[in-house]
Structure 1
Amino acid sequence: MNDPKTSPRPTLINPPGLYDPAPNGYSHIAVVPAGTRLAFIAGQGGETEDGRLSDDFRDQVRQAMANLLIAIEAAGGEPSQIAKLTVLIVDHSEQRLGVLGEELERAFGAQMKPACTLIPVPRLALDGMLFEIDAVLVLPEA
């Protein structure tokens, strides 16, 4: 894992004139510093290592966040280096948005969250899959 004090991180910005997105678990803008590499992490769903998938939305979000953290570590990064997330939710609702915000806070802590786009979808790759999240990570130059 990188030293959090010297690891490159995106600059996260919520400018005046735009609403505060923090309760929904994201920032409006992420600026990637010069001299860094990007790692693209594929969509992570709520499957366990052995392929089990809960029927519960919160369980799937929580497992997908755990899977995302494993992928970030495997790439040599840490959550504070995420510049952008994309979230796909089946049967999206305000209640599910609340669950997402709570689980982002649980996974990443109270720090500002990265830029994020949430896309409601009618279905995902696997039967019963309700949630998927991918990430763009900022890493030091090789």
Structure 2
Amino acid sequence: MNTKTILLVEDNPSDVSLTRRALVKNAISNPLVVTEDGQEALDYLFCNGKFSTRNLTDLPVVILLDLKLPKIDGLEVLRRIRADSRTRRIPVVILTSSGQEEDISTGYDCGTNSYIRKPINFTDFAETIKQLSLYWLVINEPPP
């Protein structure tokens, strides 16, 4: 049974904390799983390493993906998500500080559903998380 988990792939502890605070502020109670690098995210999704006992059919309802990650960068994580039939339909939102046109273009070329630059102040960040959550957790009709 899918618990409508949100997967946050983020290596910056401050951004993880801001995301948690924004979810609480907006009364979003979905479980949040945090992976701190690209390899850990892929291990989580494909039930490898420390996640080998996780149920592969219990996939996140949405993935919030940073681009600048250790081990495997966010764009490569996205490519691997889209290359696998088990994960290719999971909505992936790139949530990053990068506004470089090349990152935006490549993100969409690799199959992101949305590209959002992280707002700098908490109020704007919390509003962004609220809107993201409203759309991906409530309004959007996920594939069966």
What TM-score do the two structures reach when normalised by structure 2? 0.32
Higher relative contact order (CA 8 A, sep 6+): 1
Please state which structure has a larger fraction of its residues in strand: 1
Please state which structure has a larger fraction of its residues in helix: 2
